[in-house]
Amino acid sequence: MAKEVTIAQASLTASNAEAEIDRLLTTALYERRPVYLLLPSDVAEAPLVSRPAPLVLRQPNLSEVSLQAFIAAAREKLQDAQRVSLLADFLAERFGAEPVLEQWMNEVNIPHSTLLLGKSVLDETHACFTGTYAAAASDPQVKQQIEGADVVINVGVRFTDTITAGFSHNLPVDKCIDIQPFEARVGQQVFSQIPMREAVKALHQLTLSLASKWSLPSIKRPALPEPSSSGLDQHGFWQQIQDFLQPGDILIAEQGTACFGAASLMLPRGCRFIVQSLWGSIGYTLPAAFGAQTADPQRRVVLLIGDGAAQLTVQELGSMLRDGQKPVILLLNNDGYTIERAIHGPEQRYNDIAQWNWTRLPQALSLDHQMKCLRVTAPEQLRAALEEVGGSEQLAFIEVVLPKMDFPELLDNVSRAIQSRNAAA
């Protein structure tokens, strides 16, 4: 089973442990993908046969010939363009291209965006940031800024079904320059042995002399929808979350209404966004928040998770409390699997879940540590709760009660696209 979901695997013995451990570590760091290491109990305490040597990290190959050919092809495509846009995604962060991307965007005015998985890879406070791109489900202005360009530069992009409304992106290969971890493409041409950072730096230098010829359309970022006057709903919730976020926060959004609503936020500078839209494994974010806070205890972690997803992994609240962590957790209680209701079977029983007393549950997971638990059903209650927990010195858990069939606009658009695709299949 491990072979299907990892890039490398090994079963350790006393004689192969040194070589295999190093091989798996260097492969994981090079590929930025998981590996699987089996350590049998009868081997764990066995002495090493050989003496360990310092770990030598594998470096990506750079072909100067390939790089120069790529630059020439990119120049030919870009010099005739009237409009150019840039789309970045999560692989740019995985392979360390964020700093060179930021420098590029600060020196060359290009309308730019990210996909949901790559949200926070680019500085969303930048004047040329258009908003989050979601293909046909995008805000019309974002869609036009990206797809309407003569040339689109993609950096670390992976198109998946849920974040492109069923692969509805209109980005023909022939109008794209595509930068991947170890190769680059210009239209149909492939240039191997070019690490992502080197390709980005090359395009940065190339565009410094070309960008003055390109038109820069007026960029107006999508505004958050106005909240309802009748009570707490998705629109009002996201308005308040926008005001609650601070520079440097780690924002983690569950694969459900949470991540589709969070797509509309404009993240403060230095805010890291974590979402799991590739595999769609619900429940991932609660233990991910525990991991993020463990990795960076000085930053504030804000977790947005639905009631259905939380029922799968809620026990990790106990680990957070045990370790004295202080994240802010907002549980969106919309009475079941609302994201599934949006796609299929809005009234079917398989989208219903057991009703839990959420504000009493967390304290049952720790005998020794206290937390702040609140339940809100109205806009003014949410506002007061967020003010109360903003600088909290203990873990804060807020149950936010939302209407059962209330969807963020992006989820509504994506679900319609998926329904149409399923009907046509």
Are 329 and 309 in contact by the 8 Å Cβ rule? The answer is: no
For residue 290, the one-letter residue type is: F
Return d(Cα 83, Cα 151) in angstroms, integer.
Answer: 7
DSSP secondary structure letter of residue 224 = P
Q: What is the mean pLDDT of residues 50-55?
A: 85
Give the distance between the most distant pair of CA atoms in the chain: 72
Instruction: Indicate the pLDDT class of residue 418, thresholds 50, 70 and 90.
Output: confident
Domain ranges (residues) in the chain: 1-59, 64-213, 234-420
**Sequence-ordered strand ranges (E) for 236-394:** 250-253, 272-275, 301-306, 328-333, 372-376
Q: How far is CA 257 from CA 24, 158, 338, in A?
A: 37, 21, 7
Position 422 pLDDT exceeds 90: no
Return d(Cα 89, Cα 183) in angstroms, integer.
Answer: 16
Structure tokens given for 267: 């993240």
Instruction: Indicate the pLDDT class of residue 219, thresholds 50, 70 and 90.
Output: very high
Are 258 and 247 in contact by the 8 Å Cβ rule? The answer is: no
Instruction: Indicate the pLDDT class of residue 44, thresholds 50, 70 and 90.
Output: very high
What is the pLDDT, as a whole number, of residue 380?
A: 96
Tell me the pTM: 0.94
CB neighbour class for 153 (10 Å; exposed up to 12, middle 13-18, buried from 19)? buried
Pick the CATH number of 64-213 from 3.40.50.300, 1.20.1090.10, 3.40.50.1220, 3.30.70.20: 3.40.50.1220
What is the pLDDT, as a whole number, of residue 346?
A: 85
Residues contacting residue 388 through CB under 8 Å, at least 6 positions apart: 372, 374, 396
What is the pLDDT, as a whole number, of residue 415?
A: 84
Do 64-213 and 234-420 show the same overall fold? yes
Return d(Cα 64, Cα 71) in angstroms, integer.
Answer: 10
Q: What is the mean pLDDT of residues 101-106?
A: 98
Return d(Cα 129, Cα 149) in angstroms, integer.
Answer: 15
Q: 333 has which bridge partners? A: 401
- Average pLDDT along the chain: 94
End-to-end CA distance of the chain: 30
- Second CATH level (architecture) for the domain 234-420: 3-Layer(aba) Sandwich (3.40)
Q: Is the dihedral of CA 61, 64, 70, 75 positive or negative?
A: positive
Structure tokens given for 151: 């040339």
Q: Which helix (H) or strand (E) holds 130?
A: strand 129-132
Structure tokens given for 63: 């072909």
Return d(Cα 371, Cα 397) in angstroms, integer.
Answer: 7
Return d(Cα 341, Cα 241) in angstroms, integer.
Answer: 24
Q: What is the mean pLDDT of residues 353-379?
A: 94
Position 378 pLDDT exceeds 90: yes
Higher-confidence residue: 420 or 201?
201
Position 336 pLDDT exceeds 80: yes
Return d(Cα 336, Cα 16) in angstroms, integer.
Answer: 49
What is the pLDDT, as a whole number, of residue 277?
A: 87
In degrees rounded to 5, what are phi and psi of residue 257? -60, -25
Instruction: Indicate the pLDDT class of residue 347, thresholds 50, 70 and 90.
Output: confident
Instruction: Indicate the pLDDT class of residue 417, thresholds 50, 70 and 90.
Output: confident
What is the pLDDT, as a whole number, of residue 296?
A: 97
Q: How far is CA 401 from CA 207, 351, 398, in A?
A: 49, 17, 10
Position 280 pLDDT exceeds 90: no
Report the candidate in 291, 366, 381, 369 with the shortest Cα–Cα distance to residue 330.
381
What is the pLDDT, as a whole number, of residue 392?
A: 80
Q: How far is CA 86 from CA 80, 151, 286, 311, 412, in A?
A: 16, 9, 32, 39, 26
